[in-house]
Structure 1
C-alpha cells in the first residue's frame, strides 16, 4: 500500500540553491557595510548597504513562484512581491543620505546571521526540525492523539504517522524548518541585538520573545497537524475556494485553511503583540521599528509618544495631563 499523501507545514527555503546564494550575498554585504560604518567610512557604508538592500529584495522576489504555486500562500506571496520595491526604496533612501537606516540594516544583518547558519548546517537543521516534531507530537498526545513519528519527505523524523483509514482526509503533515519558529526568533534576535542597551534588559527581552514564540508556535503546529488529517475545515464553501481558485485537491482544504489562512493571519497578530511586549522591556527597539515604518509610509513616527512608553530609567516619555 502506498503511503498517504502529505502536506508540508510551511515553506522550506533551503530547497532553493540560487535563492540561498542571494540571501548569503545580501547578508554578507550588510555585514561589510556595518564594518565600514564602524571604521567611520559612512558614505561607503551607505552605498554598499544600498546595493545589499536591492539584492535582498531580489531574494524575496525569487520566492514568489514558490509561495504562489507550491505553498499556495496568498499572504507570503503578497509580502514577497512587496519586498523588492520596499527594499529598493530603502536603498534609495540610504543613497540620499538617511544614515539612520544603517541601524535597520544592522538588525536585518543579525537576523540573517542567526537564521542562515541554522538553515544550512545539517546538524543544526536536523536537531531543530526533529525536536520541534517531537514537541508537537507531545502536544498532540496531551489532546488524546498519538500517531507516532516517522521519516517525512524531507528526510527527517518529523512526519506524523496517522493511519489514513482512521482520519477524515487521509492526509498528514510533517515539520520543516519554517515550522520551528526560527524565522520569528531571528527577527526579534536581530532587533534586540542591534540596539544599544544594558545587557540585562536585552537578555530579558530576548528570553521573553523566544519563550512566547516557542509556545505559540507549538500551538500552531499542533493545530495544523490535527486540522489536516481530521478535516476540521472540510466545508463545501471552503472546498470550492481551494479547488477552484487555488487548484488544490479537495482533501487538502483543511490544511490550506488551517495553515495559509488561520495560522498565518494569527501569526501577524502574534508578532505585533510580541513586539509590544518587547518594547515595554526594551524601548530602544523602537528606533529600528520607526525606520521600518518610515520606509513603509514615508512618514516620521514617534512610537514612544504613541505608546506612552516609560524610558529605561522609569520616567514617562510622554506627558500626562493629570496634575
Structure 2
C-alpha cells in the first residue's frame, strides 16, 4: 500500500503482446502477492491493537505492540521492492521501498524507547491502511476503482482529440487504451492499474486528517480539498502518460540514444519512462508538498504527525506550529510533553 513513501504509477504493455514489460520476472512478483497482502493486513491490524491498548491506558504495551507493527510494516515494504524494480521499473519507488524497512525499524525503536507521541503517527498510518487495503485486496473495490479511472482518463483524452477506446487489460479489467499500434509512433499503449487511481495519496491525507483531534467541519473541508485536488492532478497525469507513450512525445534521437545506451531502456519505451518515471514522479512529489500546504492552512493540527515524521528522518525536534504561527492549534498532549522536556 502506498503511504507517504509512495507515488502513483502506470504500467505499460506492448501493443502486440498483452502483458507487462519484463514478463520473465512477473511470476516471481505475483508469487509474493499473498505474503505482501498478509503482511499489510497484519501490520495494520497490529497498529489498531496498539491504539486500543493506548485507549485503555496501557501506554507501555501500546508502544511495544506499535513497535512490532512498525517492523512488520517495514517488511511489507521490503516485499514491494521486486514489483517496483522489475515491473514498474521506478527508481524512486524502489529506493523508497528499500528505505522503508530501516525507517520503520527505527520508528519502532523510538516507540520502545518511550516516545509516546509517535502513537499519533501510528494512528495516522493505521487509518491510511484502513482506507487503502480494501482497494488493494478486495477485487470488487479494485475493479471499480481501476475501471472508473480508465473511463475518466479516456474522457480526458477525448477532450484532447484522442479516442482510442478501452479494452481488457492483462489484469482482466476494462483498463487498456486501445491505440492502433500501426498508427502510433511507438506502437505501445498503457493501461490503468490501482496505483493510477490516486487512492494511495488520498489514503495518506485521509489518515493524517482522521488521526488528529479537530472540529469535524474543518476536517471535512480539508479532506474534500485534498481529495478534489488529488483526483484532478491524478487524472491529468494519467492522460499525459497515456498519450506520451503511444505518440512518442519524448522519442528525440539524443534522448533515445542516452537511455538505451546508459540506462538499458528499450527504444520504443523511452517516452513512457520519461513521462512516467521522471516527469510525473517529480511533479507528484511537488504536488504532495503543495497539497500538504493547502491542508495545513485548513487543518493545522496535522502538523503534529508531520513533526514526528521529521523527527524520524532527522533525529531533531521541530516546532512546526511555532514556525508557521499556529501554536494555538497544538494538541494539549504535545504542549505537556514539551513542558516536561
TM-score (norm 1): 0.91
Q: Judge conservation of contact 2:20–2:87 (CA < 8 Å) in 1.
A: no
Q: C-alpha displacement at 1:311, in angstroms?
A: 4.6
Among 297, 300, 316, the alignment partner of 1:299 is 316
1:306 positional shift: 2.3
**Structure 1 residue 20: deviation in Å?**
1.0
Q: Distance in 1 between matches of 2:175 and 2:144?
A: 11
Q: 2-side partners of 1:41 and 1:237: how far apart? A: 62
In structure 2, how many angstroms separate the alpha carbons of the residues matched to 1:157 and 1:64?
A: 27
Deviation of the 1:67 alpha carbon:
1.4
C-alpha distance in 1 between matches for 2:19 and 2:262: 18
Matched, 1:81 2:98: yes
1:263 and 2:263 matched: no
Corresponding position: 1:99 with 2:111: no
1:25 to 15, 39, 42: 42
Whether 2:253 is the aligned partner of 1:236: answer: yes
> Residue 286 in 1 paired to residue 310 in 2?
no
User: Match for 1:139 among 149, 156, 159?
Assistant: 156
Show the 5 A alignment for 1:10-21.
16-21=33-38
1:158 aligned counterpart, secondary structure? strand
Q: Is the 8 A contact 2:221 2:298 kept in 1?
A: yes
Q: Offset at 1:310?
A: 7.6
Query: C-alpha distance in 2, partners of 1:111/1:159?
Result: 28
Q: 1: CA distance between counterparts of 2:184 and 2:276?
A: 18
Contact preservation (8 Å) 1:23, 1:56: yes
1:4 is matched with 16
Q: How many residues align?
A: 310
CA contact (8 A) 2:321 2:329 kept: no
Q: What secondary structure, in the 3-state scheme, does the structure 1 residue paired with 2:269 have?
A: helix
Q: CA deviation at 1:242?
A: 3.3
How far the C-alpha of 1:241 sits from its partner, in A, is 4.0
Does structure 1 residue 159 correspond to structure 2 residue 176? yes
Partners of 1:6 and 1:305 lie apart in 2 by 54
Contact 1:6 1:174 in 2 (8 A): no
Deviations 1:32-84 (A, max 9, x none): 10011111111001001001111111111111122122211111011111111
Change (3 A) 1:127 1:267: same
In the alignment, what sits opposite 1:63? 80
The runs of 5 or more residues in structure 1 that have no matched partner are 314-323
CA deviation map 1:197-250 (0-9, x unaligned): 010000000000000000000000000000000001112333234334443321
* SS of 1:144 mapped into structure 2: coil
**How far, CA to CA, are the matches of 2:274 and 2:19 in structure 1?**
12
Report deviation, 1:255. 0.7
Which residue of the partner structure matches residue 218 of structure 1?
235
TM-score normalised to structure 2 length: 0.87
Asked if 1 retains the 8 angstrom alpha-carbon contact of 2:300 and 2:329, the reply is yes
Q: Give how far 1:312 is off.
A: 5.9
